[in-house]
Amino acid sequence: MDIALCQNPNHDSQRLKYICVDPNCNVAKRIGCADCFLDDHITHIRKTTAQFKEQVSQSIDTISQVEFSKANSSPQKDLDCQIDFELENCIENIKSRFLAIKNDLKSQIDSDMLKVQDNCSQFKQNMNNELNPFKLTIENELPSLNQYELNQLVKFYQEAPKIHKHYSKASELLQDEKSKVKQKKQKHLNKMKSIIQVLLKEFNDLMTTKNVQIDDCSEYETPQKYTMSPNKMINLVETARSTRRFPMSQSQKKYFLSAVTKKLD
């Protein structure tokens, strides 16, 4: 049996020469001979089998020539470079700001500590100036001292507790000043830690999946918070499947939804 010939006994074994391409055709058999088309496709759009094969082949070739950009294409590389640049610039700005804060704090601490050290040196110098003459005098034999020197030693002996209290009090005050500088430093450090914690929290909030801001390709419009739900992803996939000419079955949707949900989690 020649499959290229019409099997209708009334059509004289004519060749199957035509294909019905009419979008409104409801006839099950789309290929037929001239008599078939007179009977069932008289007003329909038709093509000869040769024309049909040629045009389908051309369509296949045309569609096959559609190119998809690779991830390593030039625009993608440019975007990667821009992302790297912006990220590095952001990091440098943050680093620069914290270095400025650190230098300012260090300058304040150094200035305060310098004042404390100056006061400490001054008190030490005053104490040495007051004690050194008595150190030299007391090394001599007492009978060899003149009346003035002996009187000065006696006076020092009488006032020694008072002098000791004076310099002990000064030492305590200097220690308090050192403690205040240390507390001031700790206070600023705690403040910097708090700032860093706030920045990290804001960063984490912005970078969570549900809060990622996506620009809609318009630099003049405010970016909106965008979330692609699993159902939207299914719709996107279905749209890509030749404009829903081959839609997903319910079982395919269920399987895809499960996979997407698991991926998002």
Query: Could you tell me the residue ranges of all domains in the chain?
Result: 1-68, 75-214, 228-264
Distance from C-alpha of 207 to C-alpha of 200, rounded to nearest angstrom: 10
Radius of gyration of the chain (CA): 48
Structure token digits, residue 35: 């008599």
pLDDT digits (tens, 9 = 90+) for 198-254: 888 887 887 775 544 444 444 444 444 444 555 555 555 455 444 444 455 566 555
User: In terms of pTM, does the model score above 0.85?
Assistant: no
Burial of 240 (0-12, 13-18, 19+ CB in 10 A): exposed
pLDDT in tens, 77-136: 677 788 888 888 888 888 888 888 788 878 888 888 888 888 899 889 999 998 999 898
